[in-house]
Chain A
Amino acid sequence: GENVEQHPSTLSVQEGDSAVIKCTYSDSASNYFPWYKQELGKRPQLIIDIRSNVGEKKDQRIAVTLNKTAKHFSLHITETQPEDSAVYFCAAKGSGNTPLVFGKGTRLSVIA
């Protein structure tokens, strides 16, 4: 089955700097790669996703890149703000009606 690795597990950045989180996946048939932000005690919140026919997607300060050949995808947050502090999870989904498999998460701290 699918296996998703995520790095780093913790990340501290100064406010205004950029943050990058990287994930790799194992199933070459995977075709959907979402990123979630989770605050303590809350449900994961989808912040951006990318599908296998696209290499890059951007939404304001957030961008995701996908390299299908290398089977890795990355989340980029620019101009970080203290409210960006949370745990971020990457996930991957195989073909068909299969469930999302999550990475282990990255705890991002933005220091004011």
Chain B
Amino acid sequence: GAVVSQHPSWVICKSGTSVKIECRSLDFQATTMFWYRQFPKQSLMLMATSNEGSKATYEQGVEKDKFLINHASLTLSTLTVTSAHPEDSSFYICSARDQGTDLNEQFFGPGTRLTVL
């Protein structure tokens, strides 16, 4: 099956700093990637849809200036949490589809656990 990687797997940062998370599709091209956030004991909540070569589409309530998304190539999308605060501490998971084979199944990265002190 298609493989999605994320880096880093975990990160601890000080309040006010910025953190970049990378999401890569390793064996397929993804024109669209999705970013989810999962707080402890909660479900995956969609933050934004990342589109290669164009602006991301953000879900209601997600600040686009705080969560910067760049999808510069068909295999890489990045999420930058700017001026992170403790309430941004969460598990961030990216996901992508191999649109060349299936328009439905989404493949998930291993997630990035962000802890903001």
Contact = CB atoms under 8 A, between A and B. Distances in A.
The dominant DSSP class at the B interface is: loop
Nearest to B60: A1
Contact of B109 (A31, A34, A43, A99): A43
B46 A101 contact: yes
Nearest to A44: B108
A43 B111 CA distance: 6
The dominant DSSP class at the A interface is: loop
Nearest to B44: A102
B113 A41 contact: yes
Nearest to B45: A102
B105 A46 contact: yes
Given A42-B111, A43-B93, A99 B46 contact: yes
Contact of B97 (A51, A97, A105): A97
Given A89-B43, A89-B44, A105-B43, A99 B111 contact: no
B101 interface: no
B32 A97 contact: yes
Query: For A49, A99, A100, A105, which residue has the most chain B Cβ atoms within 10 angstroms?
Result: A99
A100 B96 CA distance: 11
B82 interface: no
Contacts of A97: 32, 97, 99, 103
A49 B103 CA distance: 13
Contacts of A104: 42-43
B106 interface: yes
Interface of B: 32, 34, 42-46, 49, 91, 93, 95, 97, 99, 103-106, 108-111, 113
Interface of A: 31-32, 34, 41-44, 46, 49, 51, 89, 93, 96-97, 99-105
23 contacts: A34-B105, A41-B91, A42-B111, A43-B108, A43-B109, A43-B110, A43-B111, A46-B105, A49-B105, A51-B104, A96-B103, A97-B32, A97-B97, A97-B99, A97-B103, A99-B46, A99-B95, A99-B106, A100-B95, A102-B45, A103-B43, A104-B42, A105-B42
